[in-house]
Amino acid sequence: MTAASGGRSGRRPGRSGTREAILDAARVRFAEVGFDRASIRSIATAAGVDPALVHHYFGTKQQLLTAALDIPADPAIIRNAILAAPDEVLGETVVRTVVGIWDSPIGVQAVAAFRSLLGGGEPALARTFLLEVALKDVRRRVDSPPGTGAERVVLAASQLIGVLITRKVLEVEPIASMTVDELAARVGPTVQRYLTGELP
């Protein structure tokens, strides 16, 4: 089950009470003790359900966090596209894949989730999502020389987040109306340098 289908089916009547109880418990536990120390078991206990039900509804702990943050896309889609790209077009591929999701129908909800995270929400959870779910495998891929991966992915994320804000939240021209090709040509080289270039 993807996070997307999980999120949507949660609004059907019937099992929605249980699903919401699990999501509420997850948000509280993640915020209280952090992603690593919040076990599925402890979240299930707090929600008054069996741990197997948490797995059944949400899959992995990463997918549970994605659902708890109301993020509509399964980050694996982005991650797999990025991991499959050849080194020399990595920056451009990242820009195309990420902007493609934001511009798609589910992008509206993704932008809304991101705005609410920034506006009032839980920066610790957003940080965990970014590092433990969205960027983890990419970090390993670009960890060359060893030890630079964490810095590379966070620098790339900073540029992508800035494009998201200017294009989808503030809607500043000309970024708001650029085609994906135009954005990839302008911002791709930045992301490429962060992920694979020489850093000081």
Interface with a copy of itself (CB under 8 A): 115-116, 118-120, 123, 126-127, 130-131, 150-151, 154-155, 157-163, 165-167, 169-175, 182, 185-187, 189-190, 193-194, 199-200
Q: Phi and psi for 188 in degrees, rounded to 5?
A: -55, -45
Shorter beta-carbon distance to a copy of itself: residue 28 or 161: 161
Shorter beta-carbon distance to a copy of itself: residue 21 or 111: 111
- Give kind and range of the element (H or E) at residue 160: helix 149-164
Nearest approach in angstroms of CB 131 to a copy of itself is 7
Shorter beta-carbon distance to a copy of itself: residue 52 or 118: 118
Shorter beta-carbon distance to a copy of itself: residue 6 or 159: 159
Query: 116 exposed, middle or buried (CB, 10 Å; 0-12, 13-18, 19+)?
Result: middle
Question: Shortest CA distance to 53 belongs to which of 12, 13, 8, 6?
Answer: 6
Question: Shortest CA distance to 8 belongs to which of 30, 19, 38?
Answer: 19
Nearest approach in angstroms of CB 19 to a copy of itself is 26
Nearest approach in angstroms of CB 72 to a copy of itself is 19
Contact by Cβ (8 Å): 102, 114: no
